[in-house]
C-alpha cells in the first residue's frame, strides 16, 4: 500500500504531503511518525503541506493528533506552507488546529524548532552583514 | 392553446412588417441599427416564438422548447445594451408586437369569441413575460459590469507594501465591508506567502468606523494569517476607535494593536530579532560616508 | 443550455469521499470559480460526504449546475437512509459531534456555502442540499 514517506534529517523528521489523502493513508502516517520518533529519537517533526489544496476537519484532526502524539514522545511538531485559500477556509470552518504550530516555510519551521541559524540562511535583501 | 402559435405562423410576414412599421422611431433607432438587421432580428424572433408556443405552450417560457426564443432575446437585449439602447427601448421592442398580433388574432378568430379572448390573453401574457426577460438580461449585464469594475477598484485600492525583509504593511483606506475584506484578506495572505513575510501590519488609520462586523472581518484575517504562520499587528487605532471597541465589547485580547504605524513597525522589527542602531555621531557618520565614494572620485 | 448537467456518486467508503472531492473540484474548475470559492466548496463537500458516510451509514452525492444567465452555481445534494438527525438545531451548532474527535457539526460546512438546507427524519434518513454561487 502506498505510504507518505517520512524522511530523516538528523533529529528532524520531514514529511511532505502531496496527495489527496484517504483515511487509511492518514492513519498510516500517524502510525509511521510515532514509530519513527521512537526508532530514531527524533526531537522535531516538520510537516510540509504546501501542496495540500484541501484541509478538511479530518485532515485537521490528523495534524493535531500527530502534534499531540509526537509531544508525548518528546518531539515538537511544526506544520509549514499552508496555502492562503486553505487558511481562509479553515477560519470559516471554525477550525483552529489546536496544539499545532505553524510556519511559512521549511526554513522558518526549522528555525522555530531549533532556533535561529538552524536552517538555511535565506539572506536578507535589506540588511548588510555586520563586518 | 396552440391557437396562438398557428395564428402567428399563418400571418408571420404580415405581423412582422406591421411590427416594424409601427415601431416608433425611438425604438427603431435607425442611427444604431440598419433596416435589414432589424427585419432579420424580428423575423428570427417571431419564428422562435412560434416554435416555443408550439412545443410547450405560450405561458411557461422557462421550458426547453422556449430555449431558442429565450437565448435570442437575451442576445438581442445584451447587444442592444451594448449599442446604447435604453432598457425601456428594448422592452418596448417586444411589447410593440402586441398590436399587430392582436390584429391578426382578431381577424383569424373573429367568429369564436371565447377562443379569441383566450388567445389574446395568452398573447399578452407571453409578451409581458418576454419583455420582462429582456429587462432582466439588461440588468444582469449591467450588474456584471459594475461588479467587475468594483473588483478592479478593490484590488487597486489596498496595496500591500513591504516595509522590510519579512515585514509587510497593509494601509486600508475607506470602509471595510464583507466583499472588500475578502479581497483584502486574499491579497494580504498571498503576499505573505510570496514574500515569506512573518509580520503583517494592518493599518486602519483610514478606516472611518469600526463596528462589530468590521472587527469580525479583521479578526478573520488575523486568524487566517496566524494559521499560516504569520503574525498581524493592527495599527492606526484612533482614540475614538479604541473607545468604540471597548463600548461594543469586542474582544481583542489575542490581537496586538498599536496606535501608530511607526510603533507597529518598531514592534515588528523587535519581534523579528532586529535592532536599529544609530551611528556614533552625526558628524563622524557623514564624514565617513563622504570619505568613501567621493574620495574615489577625487583621486 | 436547457439540459441540467447532473452526476451522482455513491458514498460507500472513505475512498469515495476522495472521489467526491475530486469531482467537485473538477466541476468548479470547469465553471471557473475563484480559487478560494473552489476551496470552500470542495472542503464543504468533503465534510458533508464524510458526514453521510459516518453518520448516515453511506449514501450518495449528487452534483448539478444551477441557475442561469449571469447567476450560475453548483448544487450538491447529500442523501442517506441512515438514522437521521433528531435535533437539527443542535447539529448546526459548532462543536457538536456524535462521534469522537473534535467534530465540528454541520455549522462549519454551512458557513462555506451560500445556501444550505437540511431535511432529516429520525429513522428515515437525511438530505442536505447546498449551493455555492460563482
pLDDT in tens, B218-237: 888 999 999 999 999 999 98
Residue with cell string 369564436: B112
Which strands sit side by side in the sheet containing B161-164, from one edge to the other? B161-164, B167-173, B199-206, B231-235, B256-257
C129: left (phi over 0), alpha (psi -120 to 50) or beta: beta
- What is the number of other CB atoms lying within 10 angstroms of the CB of residue B33? 15
**Residue C17: which pLDDT band, with cuts at 50, 70 and 90?**
very high
How far apart CA B25 and CA A123 sit, in angstroms, is: 72
**Average pLDDT, integer, range C54-68:** 90
- What is the number of other CB atoms lying within 10 angstroms of the CB of residue C40? 25
Please state which of the ranges B28-42, B70-84, C5-19 shows the lowest mean pLDDT.
B28-42
Which of C15, C22, C39, C94 to mutate to probe the A interface, most A CBs <10 Å? C39
> Phi/psi at A122 (nearest 5 deg)?
-80, -20
Q: What is the pLDDT of residue B283?
A: 59
- In C31-134, alpha helices (H): 35-54, 88-91, 107-112
Searching chain C, which residue's CA lies closest to the CA of residue A21?
Answer: C18
Percent of chain B scored above 70 by pLDDT?
89
Which residues on neighbouring strands pair with residue A77, listed in sequence order? A45
Comparing CA positions, the residue from A36, A81, A32 lying closest to residue A55 is A81
Q: Indicate the Cα dihedral angle B8, B10, B12, B18, nearest 10°.
A: -90
- What is the number of other CB atoms lying within 10 angstroms of the CB of residue B202? 27
Closest approach of A28 to chain C, Cα-based (Å) = 14
Residue C2 domain flag: no
- Nearest by CB to C70, from B67, B143, B186: name it: B143
User: DSSP readout, A10-35?
Assistant: TTEEEEE--S---HHHHHHHHHHHHH
Indicate if the pLDDT at residue B298 is higher than 60: no
Contact C39 A86 (CB under 8 A): yes
- Nearest by CB to C2, from B64, B137, B144: name it: B64
Contact list in B for residue A91 (CB cut-off 8 A) is 220, 223-224, 227
- Nearest by CB to C2, from B67, B143, B186: name it: B67
Q: What is the pLDDT of residue B146?
A: 82
Residue C84 domain flag: yes
**Average pLDDT, integer, range B123-140:** 89
Residue C65 domain flag: yes
**Residue B29: which pLDDT band, with cuts at 50, 70 and 90?**
low
Q: What are the pLDDT digits (tens) for C21-33? A: 999 999 999 998 9
Q: What is the pLDDT of residue A69?
A: 96
Cβ contacts from A onto C, under 8 A: 68
Q: Which of A92-101, A114-123, B14-23 has the highest mean pLDDT?
A: A92-101
Which of A46, A81, A87, A112 to mutate to probe the B interface, most B CBs <10 Å? A87
**Residue C103: which pLDDT band, with cuts at 50, 70 and 90?**
very low
**Residue B60: which pLDDT band, with cuts at 50, 70 and 90?**
confident
Here the CATH number for the domain that contains residue C104 is 3.30.565.10
Residue C127 domain flag: yes
Contact list in C for residue A56 (CB cut-off 8 A) is 43, 46-47, 50
End-to-end CA distance of chain B: 103
How far apart CA C70 and CA B114 sit, in angstroms, is: 40
Angle between helices B12-22 and B35-56 (to 10 degrees): 130
CB C73 within 8 A of CB C79: no
Q: What is the pLDDT of residue C27?
A: 95
Domain ranges, residue C52: 7-133
- CB-count burial class (<10 Å; 0-12, 13-18, 19+) for B87: middle
Contact list in C for residue B77 (CB cut-off 8 A) is none
Q: What is the pLDDT of residue C98?
A: 43
Residue C1 domain flag: no
Indicate if the pLDDT at residue B84 is higher than 70: yes
Which of B65, B70, B224 to mutate to probe the C interface, most C CBs <10 Å? B70
Q: What is the mean pLDDT of chain B?
A: 83
B25 Cβ contact partners less than 8 Å away, ≥ 6 residues apart: none
**Average pLDDT, integer, range C123-130:** 92
Ordered by where they begin, the domains of chain B are 3-142 (1.10.490), 161-276 (3.30.750.24)
SS3 category, B60:
coil
Q: What is the pLDDT of residue B150?
A: 77
Comparing CA positions, the residue from B246, B257, B191, B193 lying closest to residue B219 is B257
| Number of structural domains chain C divides into | 1
Prediction pTM value? 0.69
C-facing residues of B in 111-130 (CB < 8 A) are none
CB proximity A22 to C under 8 Å: yes
B132 Cβ contact partners less than 8 Å away, ≥ 6 residues apart: B91
B161 CB-side CA count, 13 A: 11
**Residue C100: which pLDDT band, with cuts at 50, 70 and 90?**
very low
Q: What is the DSSP letter of A50?
A: T
B83 CB-side CA count, 13 A: 17
Q: What are the pLDDT digits (tens) for A36-78? A: 999 999 999 999 999 999 999 899 999 999 999 999 999 999 9
Ordered by where they begin, the domains of chain A are 6-114 (3.30.750.24)
Q: What is the pLDDT of residue B13?
A: 87
Amino acid at each position: 500500500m502506498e505510504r507518505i514517506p517520512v524522511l530523516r534529517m538528523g533529529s528532524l523528521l520531514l514529511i511532505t504531503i502531496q496527495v489527496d489523502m484517504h483515511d487509511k493513508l492518514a492513519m498510516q502516517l500517524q502510525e509511521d511518525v510515532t514509530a519513527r520518533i521512537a526508532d530514531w529519537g527524533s526531537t522535531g517533526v516538520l510537516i510540509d503541506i504546501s501542496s495540500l489544496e484541501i484541509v478538511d476537519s479530518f485532515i485537521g484532526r490528523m495534524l493535531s493528533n500527530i502534534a499531540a502524539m509526537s509531544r508525548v514522545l518528546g518531539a515538537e511538531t511544526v506544520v509549514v506552507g499552508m496555502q492562503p485559500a486553505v487558511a481562509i477556509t479553515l477560519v470559516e470552518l471554525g477550525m483552529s488546529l489546536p496544539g499545532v504550530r505553524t510556519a511559512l516555510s521549511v526554513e522558518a519551521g526549522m528555525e522555530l524548532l531549533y532556533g535561529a541559524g538552524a536552517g538555511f540562511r535565506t539572506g536578507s535583501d535589506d540588511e548588510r552583514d555586520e563586518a | 392553446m396552440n391557437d396562438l402559435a398557428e395564428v402567428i405562423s399563418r400571418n408571420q410576414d404580415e405581423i412582422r412588417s406591421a411590427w416594424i412599421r409601427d415601431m416608433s422611431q425611438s425604438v427603431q433607432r435607425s442611427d444604431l441599427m440598419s433596416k435589414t438587421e432589424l427585419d432579420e432580428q424580428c423575423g428570427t424572433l417571431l419564428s422562435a416564438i412560434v416554435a416555443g408556443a408550439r412545443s410547450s405552450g405560450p405561458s411557461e417560457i422557462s421550458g426547453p422548447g422556449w430555449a431558442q426564443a429565450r437565448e435570442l432575446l437575451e442576445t438581442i437585449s445584451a447587444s442592444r445594451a451594448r449599442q446604447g439602447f435604453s432598457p425601456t427601448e428594448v422592452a418596448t421592442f417586444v411589447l410593440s408586437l402586441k398590436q399587430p398580433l392582436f390584429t391578426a388574432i382578431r381577424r383569424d378568430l373573429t367568429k369564436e369569441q371565447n377562443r379569441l379572448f383566450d388567445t389574446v390573453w395568452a398573447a399578452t401574457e407571453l409578451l409581458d413575460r418576454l419583455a420582462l426577460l429582456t429587462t432582466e438580461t439588461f440588468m444582469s449585464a449591467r450588474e456584471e459590469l459594475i461588479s467587475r469594475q468594483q473588483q478592479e477598484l478593490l484590488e487597486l485600492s489596498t496595496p500591500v507594501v513591504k516595509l522590510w525583509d519579512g515585514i509587510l504593511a497593509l494601509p486600508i483606506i475607506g470602509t471595510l465591508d464583507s466583499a472588500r475584506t475578502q479581497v483584502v484578506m486574499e491579497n494580504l495572505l498571498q503576499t505573505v506567502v510570496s514574500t515569506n513575510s512573518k509580520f503583517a501590519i494592518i493599518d486602519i488609520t483610514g478606516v472611518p468606523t469600526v463596528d462589530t462586523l468590521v472587527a469580525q472581518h479583521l479578526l478573520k484575517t488575523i486568524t487566517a494569517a496566524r494559521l499560516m504562520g504569520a503574525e498581524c499587528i493592527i495599527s492606526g487605532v484612533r482614540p475614538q476607535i479604541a473607545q468604540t471597541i471597548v463600548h461594543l465589547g469586542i474582544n481583542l485580547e489575542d490581537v496586538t494593536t498599536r496606535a501608530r504605524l511607526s510603533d507597529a513597525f518598531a514592534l515588528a522589527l523587535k519581534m523579528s530579532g532586529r535592532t536599529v542602531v544609530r551611528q556614533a555621531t552625526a558628524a563622524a557618520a557623514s564624514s565617513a560616508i563622504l570619505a568613501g565614494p567621493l574620495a574615489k572620485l577625487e583621486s | 443550455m436547457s439540459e441540467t448537467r447532473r452526476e451522482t456518486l455513491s458514498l460507500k467508503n472513505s475512498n469515495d469521499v476522495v472521489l467526491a472531492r475530486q469531482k467537485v473540484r473538477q466541476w468548479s474548475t470547469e465553471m471557473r470559480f475563484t480559487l478560494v470559492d473552489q476551496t470552500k466548496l470542495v472542503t464543504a463537500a468533503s465534510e458533508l460526504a464524510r458526514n453521510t458516510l459516518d453518520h448516515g451509514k453511506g449514501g450518495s452525492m449528487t452534483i448539478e449546475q444551477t441557475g442561469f444567465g449571469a447567476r450560475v452555481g453548483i448544487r450538491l445534494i447529500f442523501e442517506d437512509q441512515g438514522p437521521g438527525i433528531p435535533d437539527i438545531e443542535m447539529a448546526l451548532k459548532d462543536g457538536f459531534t456524535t462521534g469522537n474527535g473534535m467534530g465540528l457539526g454541520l455549522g462549519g460546512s454551512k458557513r462555506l456555502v451560500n445556501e444550505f438546507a437540511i431535511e432529516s427524519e429520525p429513522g428515515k434518513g437525511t438530505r442536505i442540499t447546498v449551493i455555492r454561487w460563482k
